[in-house]
Amino acid sequence: MTSTKLTICFDLDGTLVNSAPDLFAALDHALLSKGYDKNSLSAEAKIRPIIGHGAKAMIKRALSLKNVQLNDIEIDELWHILIDHYTIHSADQSHPYEGTIKALEELHNEGHILAVCTNKTIDLTIPLLEKLDLTKHFKAITGADSFPFKKPDARHLFETINQAGGEAKAAVMIGDSKTDILTASNASIPSVGVTWGYTDVPMPDLNPTHLINHFDELTNVIEKITR
């Protein structure tokens, strides 16, 4: 047992859950509905790093790879089609990363408070977590529309910690992107960067406080932080 109990806040997409397959399926559905070809694997590889930037960013990147430019109204129409499809199919292929469940259970058993702090909207976040049977692990779940601010604003992280019943002086942020590491830095909270997620900058270059390559490494890192 560790002496200090932390509030451990996780990002969602690219950190806890590999949601890319269902996001790409929804993107392809939207493109096909307007007569565009679905994305190739090479195109998906170029879109994957910006998944954390939101659905509209994915749409714009996909269209740019096809040398297509649309106006804002047309982008919004594609966005609605994508979101409608994704809402129904968000967990068809998505799954927790290897070692996720084991790590969450170990951290809970050690007395730590677990929370989700994501820039995904709550109406998409909660159903995804419920479908994957992950909701039960978390004392608080907050998204992009939970407050008037979102990551990398430190207040998003602070409010998530508060809702979980924790304190910022004993907390850590775990994520896969620049946004997550910057959020932790803005909050003066340690960060754990994961190397398996969606980022356009290699995680080591973002200088997280700690770096892990697999969830099996997380409990040891948390023990180091508590010391």
Separation between Cα atoms, residue 109 and residue 112, nearest integer Å = 7
The two three-digit tokens of residue 20, written as one number:
């890319």
Residue 121: partners with Cβ closer than 8 Å, 6 or more residues away: 143, 144, 145
Give Cα 27 distance to the centre of its chain.
18
11 labelled catalytic:
yes
Separation between Cα atoms, residue 119 and residue 208, nearest integer Å = 19
DSSP state of 52: G
Q: With beta carbons less than 8 A apart as the criterion, state whether 158 and 9 touch.
A: no
Catalytic residue among 11, 13, 176, 180: 11
Q: With beta carbons less than 8 A apart as the criterion, state whether 186 and 152 touch.
A: yes
The C-alpha angle with vertex 19 and arms to 15 and 21, in degrees rounded to 5, equals 140
SS3 content of the chain, % helix, strand, coil (to 5): 50, 15, 35
Q: With beta carbons less than 8 A apart as the criterion, state whether 176 and 14 touch.
A: yes
Radius of gyration of the chain (CA): 18
Task: Give the residue numbers annotated as catalytic, written as ranges.
Answer: 11
